[in-house]
Structure 1
Amino acid sequence: MKVLIAGGGIGGLAAALSIARHHRVVVLERRDTFGELGAGIQLGPNAFHALDSLGVGAAARRQAVYTDELRFMDGTTGQRVASMPLTSAYRTRFGNPYAVVHRGDLYQTLLDGCAAERNITLHTNCSVTRYEQDPDSVTAITDTGLRFTGSALVGADGIRSAVRGQLVGDGAPRVSGHTIYRSVIPMERVPRELRWNTVTVWAGPKWHFVHYPIGSGKFLNLAVTRDDGARDVVVGRPAERTHVLSEFPELSDTARQLLELGADWKEWVLCDRDPVARWTDGRVTLLGDAAHPMLQYAAQGACMALEDAVLIGRLLADADGDGDGDVPQRLEKYNAERYDRAARAQLVSRAIGEQLYHPAGDAAAARNTMLSTLTVDELYDKVEWLHGARIGEPACAAPPVCRLP
């Protein structure tokens, strides 16, 4: 059968790869080219399980940086609060590494996989604005009036999804009130003593700063966020360096030194949505940010989309699309199996900002005490539900350390 996918981002391309093993897929991308905006992205073991299942795990690993630890710092005092090692014991427990990549590198890996798959057709300049369906088929309609008909439609068109607008009808995304500034700089500009192979978080009162290497270690990704009550949507607007530096006067010396390296800053106001239990309507369903957009603080947005893709491909594998209700039932099952986990990730992402990254005063001191008393095994226990999930079976049965390129 033929499956339509609205949106050619990470989730849409991953879904195309998953479904194309058994069916024809048509991907409808609104822009005039297939590409991905953004900078660094974190991939937990659950993401690598999914990438393995999609057949692109090895290619993704070649672009990744395998960090040694997740490090949590008090951003005002410079105190090292907690550290979760990500090397052999972690990989043994979770069956895959934790890595950071440039978002564009991950995207290109998925795009190359789609381009090599004869069952996938990629269309640009096709912005899906609505759909029509009957018991036998569904039709995606673009802003220029083009019509594409298939047995199912997957809305993978992002946080402002037009497919979701028709299916759920819950209006605009929730503006979080948090502004994030991002910069990517050449690693050669970073003093050698600060070229840490870690994902480091500096937490302060109503702000936090994250940095890690990307691009096979050639660049340093900087992302600094302030809970400033912003109410207007901003997407990738250039920001003056002096403004960014002035927003974080409380930074400790080392964090300040790293922040001052940033250049060509851009800013976003972060948005998400409340979880909704139903994102399937007959032959139409949602995936990734269209279904369960979340703040970045759990570093799981792309990971959840990859998991979605694996499951929907598996459930549709032997569907015949002949109008007997088989496809709608399978999409309902996909929705039911993904809802609890995705909703928990959405809410935990919010809670991390409130309870871990942005407290001040006594609340920050209590947070530091709590985190500093956790053993490594207890830290692993905390992330087990996220990092330990295996939506897709890994392609290699050998010990996880051998899975690195």
Structure 2
Amino acid sequence: MEQLSNVIVVGGGIGGLAAALAITKKTDKTVAVLEQAPQFGEVGAGIQLAPNALHVLDQLGVKEEVLKAAVLPKRLVLKDVYTAKELAVLDLTEDFQAHFGQPYIVLHRSDLHRSLYEACQANGNITFLNNQVVQKVEQQDGSVSVVNQNGESFSAEAVIGADGLKSNIRKHFSQDEPICSEYVAYRGTIPMEEMSATGDVELDDVIMWIGPNLHLVQYPVRRGELYNQVVVFKTYDYKPEGDWGTPEEMAKRFEGAHPLVERALEFISTQFRWPMFDRLPIENWTDGNVTLLGDAAHPMLQYLAQGAAQALEDSLVLAESLQDASSYNEAFVAYQQERQPRTANVQTSARKWGEILHAEDDITTLLRNTIFAQHTAKSYEVADFLYSYFNKRQEKVNA
């Protein structure tokens, strides 16, 4: 069977495109990206990108293009959903950028995806195939092949599974299933002028209104032209099959919220709902010349806003491992050895942070708020374990 390319990347989302771009920048290998959708694109709404993600975008040469569509907020703010009291603040201005080496930005997911896709299109070593629902991966005689929904096979020297939460490539390593958190999200963007007319918009901040088993996130995207809102709550009527987390339950769960929150809910689109899933960390996601990346390897809940950032970190570390190693397996093992502990920590930390944000009982809430109050807006050390990953990595190299 003739090889399609040196490397096949299964999945054309943010992680898959970043991996293709990173590999072709760090090595002379060719990459084919197989995407199940009829065309390349990204669904969803806003996305937050912390300095660790910006470092990767900088290395990939797309940072400046991404910044054109982004907003640089001045603060991250946690507010009480009932009283609007500010519980915690993180200053994101000059001192933040000096500490972490990169800014914190917010933008529309489709703008990030488009920037990566256009950079891949301009790269002569990357090709794309759409309508490819890859079912399985097979290894034989030093090559790897994937089989699509029609039984067609494509061969390469190595395969990277970047096919998301419901990854078929992951089944090569684990038979685990996604775990439902019993939380659901409603999200979307609206023209800024519609929100501005209410006089309630904080244009300079990323705001998270938090309460028992619920929250609302708000921030501007696309150069401030759109306002992004995400409502998240835990259903009290969970059923593995059936209708749960409905708009009617959302309205009931937010009864008694601050008037600013109540008005914000009027602008939330309820046409689509996103049940929230993750998986438990797995110890191994590499076999021979096959490995996983992003949500296929380590899907996480979104409470730390690190899902895309971890996929971006993966892409750069994987490409650097390929650059340094003498074989794919050597590179993939080195990549996994570095990334598995890191991503497992972020996965479990995201779960814990969700529990803290959504505290139910009075004692836990009081303890949480007391701890929040002990930090200043420039207590950047609390975020070092997330945002300073590449800084600390470089320190180890220099030591």
TM-score normalised by length of structure 2: 0.91
Q: 1:282 aligns with which of 282, 288, 312?
A: 288
Aligned counterparts, 1:5-20, within 5 A: 5-20=9-24
SS at match of 2:8: strand
Q: How does 1:149-164 map to 2 (within 5 A)?
A: 149-164=155-170
Residue in 2 aligned with 1:252? 258
CA gap of 1:198–1:162, structure 2 versus 1, over 3 A, is: same
Task: Give, as a single letter, the amino acid of the residue that structure 2 aligns with 1:12.
Answer: G
Question: Which secondary structure state, in structure 1, belongs to the residue aligned with residue 224 of structure 2?
Answer: coil
One-letter code aligned to 1:384: D
Match of 1:215 in 2: 222
| Alignment-mate amino acid for residue 221 of structure 1 | N
Please state how far the C-alpha of 1:391 moved relative to its aligned partner.
7.7
Aligned to 2:148: 142
Counterpart secondary structure, 2:184: strand
**Contact kept? 1:279, 1:335, Cα under 8 Å:** yes
Would you say 1:232 and 2:233 are equivalent positions? no
Question: Distance between the aligned counterparts of 2:72 and 2:246, measured in 1?
Answer: 30
User: CA deviation digits over 1:317-362, x for unaligned, max 9?
Assistant: 2656xxxxx2111101101100111011101111111112343422
Measure how far apart 1:141 and its partner are: 1.1
SS at 1:304 equivalent: helix
1:127 equivalent to 2:128? Answer: no
Which whole-Å CA distance do the structure 2 matches of 1:73 and 1:180 have between them? 19
Structure 1: gaps spanning 5 or more residues: 321-325, 395-405
CA RMSD across the alignment? 2.2
| Contact preservation (8 Å) 2:214, 2:358 | yes
Deviations 1:145-186 (A, max 9, x none): 22111111000000110000122222x201111111113111
Partner of 1:400: none
Q: How far did residue 393 of structure 1 move?
A: 10
Report the 3-state secondary structure (helix = DSSP H, G, I; strand = E; otherwise coil) of the residue aligned with 1:216. Answer: helix
CA distance in 2, matches of 1:384, 1:4: 34
What does residue 188 of structure 2 align with? 183
Q: Residues of 1 paired with 2:110 and 2:242: CA distance?
A: 21
Deviation at 1:392, TM superposition (A): 12
2:117 is matched with 111
Instruction: For 2:166 and 2:390, locate their aligned partners in 1 and report how far apart those are by CA, in whole Å.
Output: 28
**Structure 1 segment 6-155 matched on structure 2, within 5 A:** 6-21=10-25, 22-155=28-161
**2:389 corresponds to:** 389
| Aligned length, in residue pairs | 385
The change in CA–CA distance for 1:233 and 1:117 in structure 2 (over 3 A counts) is farther
- Aligned equivalents of 1:187, 1:359: Cα separation in 2: 33
CA contact (8 A) 1:154 1:285 kept: yes
Deviation at 1:31, TM superposition (A): 1.3
Cα distance in 2, alignment partners of residues 286 and 392 from structure 1: 24
Say if 2:304 is the partner of 1:298: yes
Corresponding residue for residue 401 of structure 1: none
Partners of 1:46 and 1:387 within 8 A in 2 = yes
Q: What is the rounded CA distance, in whole Å, between the counterparts of 1:234 and 1:106 in structure 2? A: 34
Structure 2 residues not aligned, in runs of 5+? 395-399
Give the direction of change, closer, same or farther, for the CA distance of 1:234–1:333 in structure 2 (3 Å limit).
Answer: farther
1:194-235 alpha-carbon deviations (Å, 9 max, x no partner) = 233211111111111111111111111111111225343799
In structure 1, C-alpha distance between the alignment counterparts of 2:264 and 2:393, rounded to whole Å: 39
CA distance in 1, matches of 2:136, 2:10: 10
Tell me the amino acid that sits aligned with residue 17 of structure 1.
L
CA shift for structure 1 position 316 = 1.1
1:402 aligned partner? none
Counterpart secondary structure, 1:65: coil
Give SS of 1:133's match. Answer: strand
Matched residue, 2:360: 359
TM norm structure 1? 0.90
Kept in 1: contact 2:293–2:311 (CA 8 A):
yes
The percentage of counterpart residues that share the same residue type is 38
**Aligned counterpart in structure 2 of residue 198 of structure 1, from 180, 205, 210:** 205
User: What is the distance in 2 between the residues matched to 1:62 and 1:178?
Assistant: 33
**What residue number does 1:2 align with?**
6
| CA distance 1:169–1:391, shift in 2 (3 Å) | farther
- In the alignment, the residues of structure 2 paired with residue 13 and residue 392 of structure 1 have an alpha-carbon distance, to the nearest angstrom, of 26
**Partner deviation per Cα, 1:264-297 (whole Å, 9 max, x = no partner):** 5421110000011100011100000000000000
What SS is found at the alignment partner of 2:349? helix
Deviates most, 383-392 or 11-20 = 383-392
**CA–CA distance in structure 2, aligned partners of residues 23 and 65 of structure 1:** 35
Paired letter, 1:99: I
Query: How far does residue 238 in structure 1 lie from its aligned partner after superposition?
Result: 11
Measured in 2, the distance between the counterparts of 1:364 and 1:255 equals 20
Distance 1:391 1:4, change over 3 A: farther
Deviation at 1:80, TM superposition (A): 1.2
Residue equivalent to 2:397 = none
Q: Which residue pairs with 2:322 in the alignment?
A: 316
Give the whole-Å Cα distance in 2 for the aligned partners of 1:360 and 1:139: 52
Preserved contact between residue 76 and residue 206 of structure 2 (Cα < 8 Å): yes
State whether residues 206 and 360 of structure 1, in contact with CA within 8 Å, keep that contact through their aligned partners in structure 2: no
Which has the larger displacement, 367-376 or 274-283? Answer: 367-376
